[in-house]
Copies of this chain bind each other. A is one copy, B any other.
Amino acid sequence: MFARTPAPPYWAVIFASQRSDVADAYAEMADAMVALAAEQLGFLGVESVRGDDGFGITVSYWESEEAIAAWKAEGRHRQAQAEGFARWYDGLFTRVACVKRDYAWTRG
């Protein structure tokens, strides 16, 4: 579940979204986009949760801003973004951030 990111600095895209009530093909798209992201140059990992109320947070991690820009512009991803605006989401908030420090812990 936790992304195994390298030592900072690296980059994060914090994507918060509120789902619409349109279920059609959403789950397939979401799975396909995670798989496609994982193939991109500079991808480091992803963490994603959606609650029962349809609010979700997905954080993807990247080596560089350039890798994020390339992923944003990727053809199938652009198509998914357009579908998202058209029907899958009621709202979203995307933030691009540079991770400066991190700390991981797992129970013995």
Contacts and interface: CB of A to CB of B under 8 A. Distances in A.
Interface of A: 1-3, 5, 8, 12, 14, 16, 18, 20, 47-53, 55-57, 59, 65, 85, 89-107
Interface of A (DSSP majority class) = strand
21 contacts: A1-B16, A2-B16, A2-B93, A5-B95, A8-B95, A12-B12, A12-B97, A14-B99, A20-B107, A47-B55, A49-B55, A52-B52, A57-B59, A59-B59, A89-B105, A90-B106, A91-B105, A91-B106, A91-B107, A93-B102, A94-B102
Nearest to A61: B95
Assembly of this chain: how many copies?
A: 2
A94 B103 contact: yes
A96 B99 contact: yes
Nearest to A52: B52
A12 B93 CA distance: 14
